[in-house]
Amino acid sequence: MVCSKKQRKWRDIFFETLPTASGPARDTSLSHLPELIRVLTGMNTLDFVRKVVVQLCKQLSESGTQNDPGHVHIANALATAAHSMGMFEDFDTALRIGLELDRNQQRDSAAHQSCCAVGLENLLAPATIQKLIELAIQKTRDPAASRTIASLLRLIENQAAEMVFQMLEDERVAANRSKLLHISRQLGAGSFEAARKRLNDERWYVVRNACYVLGSLSDPDVVSHLMPAFSHSDPRVQEAAVSALVKGNLPNRGAALAAALPNLSQHLQESVLNELIIVKDASAIGPLTEFLKNASGGRLPIIEKAAQALSALSDDSATDALASLAGGVLSNPAFKRTLLSAMRNSPHEATRKKAESLS
C-alpha cells in the first residue's frame, strides 16, 4: 500500500519523533497516536498497527497511572487500536490489548479508573461486539478462535451482555435464542445487571428472558429480584421465574417458592409443591404454614401437596405448625383429615406421633 502524505506524516511521528522524545514533547506525540492508528488502520496496514500495539503494551505497565498523561495517552491509543483491529476481525490483537488493560486495572483499580478502565469500556465497537456474538452462536470456527471470542466477550461482559439482550429481543428462532441465553450465562455480573434492568420491562418475553438468565447466575441477590415476577400478569413469566429458582439451586429458594404460591396458577402451584417435597428446605416452613392457613377452603389436592411438603421436613417447627393448623380448624373436617394424613406419612417420628395424639 502506498501511504498518502497524511499517513506518512503520522507514521513519521511514531517511528522518528516518539522514540527520542521525552517529557511534554513525548506526551504531545503520544496524544497523536489514536489519530495515527485511525488513519493507518486498513487491510494493508494492519501489520503496522500490530507493531505499534506490541510496543505500547510493553510501555503501558511502565508508564505509571492515570496521573501520568503519557500513560493515559497510551491506554487511549491501545483502546483505539483494539477498536480498529476489531472492525477488521483481528480479535487476537484486540484480546491482547484488552488483557493488558485489564491487567493494569486489576493491579490497582483506583489508580487506573480514568485510563485503563475507560479503555476497556471502549475496547470494541457495538458492531464488532454483535459480530463476536454471531460468531459464537455459529460455532463454526476452530477451537482457538472460539476461545479468543469467548475471552473477549467475558472481558467486556457489561457491553456484551447488553448486546446479547438486545439481540434476544429481536431473535425469533428458538434455537438461536437458546444459544444467546447460553452466552449470557457466561457473562457474570454483566448479565446480572442487564437482566435486572429488564425485570420491569412491559414486554413479557423480555422479562421471561431476564428470569432465565438470573436463575442461572447463582447470585444470592437473585431471589429478591425475581419475587415481583411471580406476580406478573403473564403466566409464562411466572413459569420462567419458578424455573429459574428451581434450577438455580439458590439458598433459601424454598422460602421464595412457598411465598409465591398464592400468586400462581394451580398448575404452577403443583410444580412448586412437588419441588418443595423433594428439596425439604426448612426456610419454607413459615410461608407454607401461611399458605395453608389461607387455603383451608381451597382445592384439596393443592392442600394435600402443601401439607406433604411441610410434613416432609424433619423439623419440630414444621410439626408444631401442622399440629396448630390441624387443631384449629375443627369446622373443616376435610382439611383436618388431609393434614393428619400427611403427618402420619411424615419421615419425622415426632410428626407421626403428633398426628396420633390429634386423631
C-alpha pair distances (Å), 340 with each of 76, 144, 267: 72, 62, 24
3-class state of residue 11 by DSSP: helix
Q: Which DSSP category does 262 fall into?
A: G
3-class state of residue 145 by DSSP: helix
Query: Residue 36 above 70 pLDDT?
Result: no
Query: Residue 331 above 60 pLDDT?
Result: no
Strands (E) in the chain, as ranges, are none
Q: What totals of helices (H) and strands (E) does the chain contain, helices first?
A: 23, 0
Q: Which DSSP category does 142 fall into?
A: -
Query: What pTM was estimated for this model as a whole?
Result: 0.76
C-alpha pair distances (Å), 323 with each of 149, 280, 286, 308: 59, 18, 14, 13
Task: Report how far residue 206's alpha carbon sits from residue 196's, in angstroms, rounded to the nearest whole number.
Answer: 11
Q: What is the mean pLDDT of residues 144-162?
A: 94
**Are 87 and 128 spatial neighbours (Cβ–Cβ below 8 Å)?**
yes
Position 37 scores a pLDDT of 72
288-306, pLDDT tens digit by residue? 999 998 886 678 899 999 9
Q: Cell match 454471531: residue?
A: 134
Q: What is the mean pLDDT of residues 332-358?
A: 90
Q: What is the mean pLDDT of residues 245-261?
A: 87
Q: Is the dihedral of CA 333, 334, 336, 340 positive or negative?
A: positive
Position 327 scores a pLDDT of 82
C-alpha cell at 201: 420491562
Q: Identify the band that residue 45 occupies on the pLDDT scale cut at 50, 70 and 90.
A: confident
Q: Left, alpha or beta for 232 (phi > 0: left; psi -120 to 50: alpha)?
A: beta
Q: What is the mean pLDDT of residues 238-265?
A: 89
Position 2 scores a pLDDT of 45
Backbone dihedral angles phi then psi of residue 63, each to the nearest 5 degrees: -100, 5
Q: Cell match 521525552: residue?
A: 22
Task: Report how far residue 198's alpha carbon sits from residue 237's, in angstroms, rounded to the nearest whole number.
Answer: 12
Comparing CA positions, the residue from 348, 314, 344 lying closest to residue 326 is 344
Position 216 scores a pLDDT of 86
C-alpha cell at 9: 506524516
Q: What is the mean pLDDT of residues 231-244?
A: 93
Nearest-5° Cα angle at 330, 325 to 333: 95
Q: Identify the band that residue 135 occupies on the pLDDT scale cut at 50, 70 and 90.
A: very high
